[in-house]
Amino acid sequence: MKPRWAVFLLLIAAIVVLALLPMLVNNYWLRIATGALMWAGLACSWNMLGGYAGYINFGHSAFFGLGAYVTALLMGDRLAWPFFATLPAGIVVTALFAIIIGAPTLRLRGAYFAIATWAFAEVLIQFASVMDFTGGIGGIGLPPFLDERFFYFAMFGAAALTYLITWALFERSRFGLKVKALRDHEPAAEAIGINTSLVKLQTFVLSAVTASVFGAIFAYWVTFINPKSVFGGDITDQMVVMVLLGGLGSLWGPALGGVALFVVNRIIWMYWGDTAFYIAILGAAIVLVVLFLPNGIAGMFSRRVAKSGAVLDKAVGNLVGGGPGRPS
């Protein structure tokens, strides 16, 4: 039981540090921490479908953007809803979209699914660019609210909730086993009586809804959005890289990858500004990870531990793999 305690204490310590962070650092670093939490959460939300169910979604920014646009439109001058009232509205809208889009597209396998989701996200970005009520390419503004602590805690809460849901549903329940079973062999999973269509759709909706919540907070945080800034393919690119870097289908991988990549992003931004060079680095990172680190940081960690057979193996196994049958 010792390693479990160690992990538990580590987790508590991390939560305490994160909760006290606003008192320890200035607003500049707080903004960076807020962004890092957002990306860690978004990566986790992508990982639900990509990592656990094995369906690569190249249009995940669609749901991030939907959440952002619903909040922006509802908080605008005409309706002027309070922020927290827009969250459930965004969740409902995104869930509806996810069901309508997911039900037919989830029948597609592998590359076809990737293309279909990518096409869907591009339809939304084009749609938001040509419509009047979304403000076209110019985008829309939200009432400014400049309390960095509020946004930090909002992102912190959303990220913590996302990881808690992922842990409870994908690592600690029958639902998670069903999802992993269909990832590993879909016909076999169907043969033992799993309603794969339903399970896939549930995962898809869950992953979409969590992304939309981050989108809503993001829109309120930056107070101005346009189609490219919330629907743009670069957002999906980043999520994919973060998950691949951290480790596909692991609980803590996306958090590691998300924070690591976001810090790199900020460092590049500090030295060179908003540069296209970052896109090249993203691409190179994907290529290198695929070639040399196909299991991500989490995979590297657990493999090394498995070799030495140390106590940490079980701890990491509990956290990362969650599988019972690991030989000790």
Partner 1 sequence: MDLFLQTLLNGLLIGGVIATFTIGFQLAFGVLHVIDFAVGGWVVLGGYLGYYMGAGLGVDGFLAIPVAFMLFGAIGYLIGPILYNVRNSRTARPELMALALTFGLFTLLRGGMLTAWGFNTHSVPTVLSGESLAVGPLTVPLIRVAAAVFAIAIAGGLFLFLYRTRYGLAIRATAENRQNAALMGVNIRRLSATVYGLYAGITAMAGVLMGAIFSVNPEVGLRYTLFAFFVAVLAGLGSVGGALVAALLLGVIEAFVATYVGSSYSLLAIFGTLFLVLLVSPRGILRHGL
- Residue from the set 108, 181, 263, 312 that interacts with partner 1 by CB under 8 A: 108
**119 forms part of the interface with partner 1 (CB under 8 A):** yes
Interface characters, 62-101, with partner 1 (x: CB under 8 A) = ----------------------------------------
**286 forms part of the interface with partner 1 (CB under 8 A):** yes
Angstrom distance (rounded) from CA 230 to CA 240: 16
- Residue from the set 282, 315, 316, 319 that interacts with partner 1 by CB under 8 A: 282
User: How many residues contact partner 1, by CB under 8 A?
Assistant: 46
- Please identify which residue in the block is written with the tokens 């979209």: 97
Taking phi over 0 as left and psi of -120 to 50 as alpha, with beta for the rest, 225 belongs to beta
Interface characters, 158-197, with partner 1 (x: CB under 8 A) = ----------------------------------------
Q: Which residues 257-276 are close enough to bind partner 1 by CB under 8 A?
A: 275-276
- Residue from the set 82, 88, 104, 324 that interacts with partner 1 by CB under 8 A: 104
Amino acid in position 9: L
Give the residues across from 224 on adjacent strands: 141
CB of 119 to partner 1, least distance (A): 5
Q: Residues interacting with partner 1, by CB under 8 A?
A: 54, 56, 58, 104-105, 107-108, 110-112, 114-116, 118-120, 122-123, 126-127, 129-130, 233, 237, 240-241, 244, 248, 275-287, 289-291, 294-295
